[in-house]
């Protein structure tokens, strides 16, 4: 091993961590990584990673969060200033990350030093969804021709629809092949054809999500939800929201 490799191996870096798989999942419609969204997510994750404090006497380890409130208080401009992005770039990136269910954003009215402040932005990551797009939580297995990735998804959780509401330029895709046989084999191709004819290219994530909804409800109900989404000029995540409402109402 060269001296440079040894020296780099001995460096203790601190700060943001970017998982390599994020470049495959968080992308524009042309497949190129959405760098702004990736860096914003890394910044949010950094703030939620606890500081490790080790007691030198008894060796006990405690964890301390980096911020005071129950959630991280950072607005679009503050996130933009961290990387030299514009506020609009970060706003669109956060919209994409929210649509992907990777983060949650909340606006509150707070009292700061006797002053009432409205629309104060708080943000938090969604660990379960971030795990799904992170390499160490994906199981790799050898295939005769290729490597394919199996997602670690619990039976109760539906894969999120990885598309942005705000702009058609935002789309999430992956360069790896996803195994969906287990959930799609019992679903007729007509529902997938309906999606492709009306919404566009069907990726593996949405195919699996549609299949699970068909298995949980019915193909007719899923298509009816899609038709409502089309009337509103919305995408699959809107149809999925309708299905959730119908299930809650036992329709």
- Whether residue 159 lies inside any domain: the answer is no
157 in any annotated domain:
no
How confident is the model over 170-178, as a mean pLDDT? 39
Same domain, 216 and 117: no
Q: Give me the number of domains the chain comprises.
A: 2
Calpha distance 97→76 (Å, rounded): 13
Residue 205's nearest CA partner among 176, 229, 248 is 176
Segment holding 149, helix H or strand E? strand 147-150
Contact 162, 100 (CB under 8 A): yes
Residue 239 has pLDDT above 80, yes or no: yes
Task: Please identify, among 93, 128, 163, the residue that sits at the C-terminal boundary of a domain.
Answer: 128
Question: What is the pLDDT averaged over residues 209-215?
Answer: 86
Q: Are residues 209 and 124 in the same domain?
A: no
- Across residues 86-108, what is the average pLDDT? 95
Rounded to an integer, the average pLDDT of 145-150 is: 42
Could you tell me the pLDDT band of residue 53, with boundaries at 50, 70 and 90? confident
Q: Judge if 88 and 185 occupy the same domain.
A: no
Q: What is the CATH number of the domain that holds 99?
A: 1.10.10.10
Name the nearest CA neighbour of 38 among 105, 94, 122.
94
Last residue of some domain: 68, 97, 128? 128
Instruction: Report the CATH number at residue 188.
Output: 1.10.10
Mean pLDDT of the chain: 80
Q: Could you tell me which of 242, 233, 246 has the C-alpha nearest to residue 165?
A: 233
Regarding whether 10 and 116 lie in a shared domain, the answer is: yes
Top-confidence residue, 160 or 220: 220
Task: Give the pLDDT band (50/70/90) at residue 148.
Answer: very low
Q: Do the domain assignments include residue 53? A: yes
Q: Is residue 27 assigned to a domain?
A: yes
Same domain as 22, residue 123: yes
Q: Is residue 140 part of a domain?
A: no
Name the packing angle between helices 219-231 and 236-248 (round to 10°). Answer: 120
* pLDDT at residue 206 tops 90: no
The single-letter DSSP state of residue 158 is P
Q: 57: pLDDT confidence band, cut at 50, 70 and 90? A: confident
Compare 59 and 39 and report the one with higher pLDDT. 39
Statement to judge: residues 112 and 185 lie in one domain: no
Domain region containing 68: 3-128
Task: Based on the fold, state whether residues 38 and 120 are members of the same structural domain.
Answer: yes
pLDDT of residue 165: 41
Does residue 150 form part of some domain? no
In a domain, 226, yes or no: yes
Considering the domain architecture, whether residues 16 and 118 belong to the same structural domain is answered as: yes
> Are residues 9 and 121 located together in one domain of the fold?
yes
How far CA 118 is from CA of 5, 45, 111, 112, 179, in Å, comes to 51, 25, 9, 11, 46
HSE-up (13 A, CA, CB side) for residue 230: 13
Question: Pick from 64, 97, 128: which residue ends a domain?
Answer: 128
Residue 153 predicted with pLDDT over 60: no
Predicted local confidence at residue 176, as pLDDT: 37
15 lies in some domain: yes
pTM score of the predicted model = 0.55
Residue 140 has pLDDT above 50, yes or no: no
């Amino acid at each position: 091993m060269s001296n440079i490799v040894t020296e780099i191996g001995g460096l203790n870096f601190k700060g943001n961590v970017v998982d390599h798989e994020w470049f495959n999942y968080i992308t524009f419609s042309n497949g190129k990584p959405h760098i702004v969204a990736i860096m914003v997510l890394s910044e949010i994750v950094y703030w939620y990673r606890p500081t490790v404090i080790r007691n030198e006497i008894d060796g006990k380890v405690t964890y301390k969060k980096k911020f005071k409130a129950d959630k991280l208080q950072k607005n679009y401009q503050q996130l933009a200033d961290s990387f030299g992005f514009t506020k609009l770039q970060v706003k669109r990136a956060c919209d994409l990350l929210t649509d992907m269910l990777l983060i949650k954003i909340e606006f509150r009215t707070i009292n700061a030093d006797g002053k009432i402040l409205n629309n104060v932005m708080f943000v938090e990551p969604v660990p379960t969804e971030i795990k799904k797009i992170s390499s160490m939580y994906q199981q790799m297995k050898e295939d005769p021709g290729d490597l394919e990735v199996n997602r670690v998804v619990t039976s109760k959780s539906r894969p999120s629809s990885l598309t942005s509401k705000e702009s058609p330029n935002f789309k999430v895709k992956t360069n790896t092949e996803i195994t969906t046989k287990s959930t799609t084999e019992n679903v007729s191709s007509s529902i997938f054809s309906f999606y492709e004819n009306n919404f566009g290219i069907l990726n593996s994530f949405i195919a699996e999500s549609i299949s699970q909804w068909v298995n949980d409800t019915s193909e007719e109900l899923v298509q009816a939800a899609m038709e409502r989404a089309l009337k509103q000029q919305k995408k699959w995540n809107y149809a999925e929201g309708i299905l959730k409402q119908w299930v809650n109402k036992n329709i």
